[in-house]
Amino acid sequence: MRGSPWRILAVIFLIAVLTVGAGMLAYTAVRQLTIEAGEIADLPVFDPLGLRPSPTPIGLYSTAAPITPPPVATVEGATPIGAAEVDATATAQAIADSGLGAVEVWSDPARVTILLLGIDQRRGEEGPFRTDSIMIVSVDPVRRTAVMLSIPRDLWVSIPGFEPGRINTANSIGDAYEYPGGGPALAAAAIQANLGLRIDHTVRINFDLFLTAVDAVAPVQICVTEPIHDDAYPDGSYGVITVHFDPGCQDMNAEQLLQYARTRHTQGGDFDRAARQQQVITAVRDRVLSLGGVQALLGKAAQLWASARQDIQTTLSFEEIASLALLVQDIPQENITQAVLDAHYVNFETTASGDQVLRLNGASARNLLQDLFSSSPMTQDDLRALAASETVTLSVANGTTTQGLAGLARDWLTAQGFSVGEVGNATASDVRETSIKDYTNHPYTARLLASLMGLPVTRVQPGNDNATVYDIQIVVGEDLIPLLTAGN
């Protein structure tokens, strides 16, 4: 059902808030600003990982002797991100008075990509602050699709105008040294320089805005998939409390939702936390869209925007948010792809000074970014043509309790023209989502398999567990049962 434009506007505002706010105030112990100085990098428009050499890890400088940064690089003809920030309260009030009928639907056919940042800041505190949540949201107006990609804060990157460092330091460095557009602009420049993704707009919020926004729509239902117990959760007053979540679907208020999205006390640590942040976004989106009585929010859009200005910094005007709202209302949930740059796409490394950081795995990360953000995604025919040059033998492992499923998968794959050399059972028998593990770098075959099975590209993962001697292993989960048993 097509939603009310004003309701969608509220959704856009809340999602922009909640996207980065969910993981904010992660742990407040780390406050020291680290400054990095080095060569200036160019900013590519789109060249996922490109040919840029990987920077050599180096030690982090102490703030005892601040470094004067070199002149900031500029791109000819480009407008610095952050330069267009405006106070749009008057525009918001005008739109509220006249209705969204006065706003045109976002008409630019080009993909629009927004960098969302969450900073560890309490009301009254002054920065600069590192970012504890970093997410890229990209909308393709023509195809009516959207992407959410979470970036780990320990990712080691080149920072234009400064020495390499963790991506979460870019915001604090940009603010400390008055980079044009501030911290968000330098963070965007770092994303562009390292991932090859052009950032069109930035949004930066703090902890208070998250709670205010969620309070307006709570409770929100979240389905917890595993027990979570954290006895060192920061309480907001520089102390700690214990938080616990049992598995199962449950309603959460704003504080509980923040705790659920913040904690890192699961096996996957920060990677799991990033995935939960995206789960929170989806749940809040569903909650807002399901509410019929949100007139208090919709009728006070200008006041909401005005009150939020102290907690949000963005290059989007209120009118642009309204215009995007009219576009996003037509994007169904199934057209929204969620991904995390997790252990499948990064390597764990230690710098010369002993800091533990993450480094992009060039091959796997490049394929992911290409599939998520390319304006010309490959068709099955394209993938077939490219995969034809890859000689691949498959292994199939049944990850469910359904007997004979691996054999059915072998028969299905053989009918599709693939060679299957091994059939057996996976270590786990409770696999819900099918995965495709590429052990010998055959990306086009792996992506073709995902496409034929109707799986998102995020199911393609580098194989690093020595589970098979074959090129690619398909671990069949419960989600593939309908495809494999159709007609049986």
pTM above 0.85, yes or no: no
Locate the domains of the chain by residue range.
5-209+259-373, 380-485
**Average pLDDT of adjacent 10-residue blocks, the chain of 488 residues:** 40 45 33 30 38 31 32 35 44 51 70 88 75 88 88 93 94 94 95 92 81 78 91 78 92 88 79 82 76 48 62 81 71 84 87 89 83 80 92 95 95 95 93 93 91 90 86 96 86
Q: How far is CA 382 from CA 156, 296, 487, in A?
A: 33, 50, 29
Please, what sign has the CA dihedral across residues 120, 126, 130, 131?
Answer: positive
Q: Which two tokens stand for residue 327?
A: 């576009």
Architecture of domain 5-209+259-373: 3-Layer(aba) Sandwich (3.40)
Q: The CATH number of 380-485 is which of 1.10.10, 3.40.190, 1.10.3470, 3.30.70?
A: 3.30.70
* pLDDT of amino acid 475: 96
The whole-angstrom distance between residue 296's C-alpha and the CA centroid of its chain comes to 30
Cross-strand pairs, 460: 436
Q: Rounded to an integer, what distance in angstroms lies between the CA atom of residue 110 and that of residue 100? A: 22
Is there a cis peptide before residue 128, judged by omega within 30 degrees of 0?
A: yes
* pLDDT of amino acid 318: 73
Domains 5-209+259-373 and 380-485 equal at CATH topology level = no
Q: Rounded to an integer, what distance in angstroms lies between the CA atom of residue 369 and that of residue 50? A: 11
Q: Rounded to an integer, what distance in angstroms lies between the CA atom of residue 128 and that of residue 104? A: 37
Please, what sign has the CA dihedral across residues 272, 274, 276, 282?
Answer: negative
Q: Are 447 and 369 in contact (CB under 8 A)?
A: no
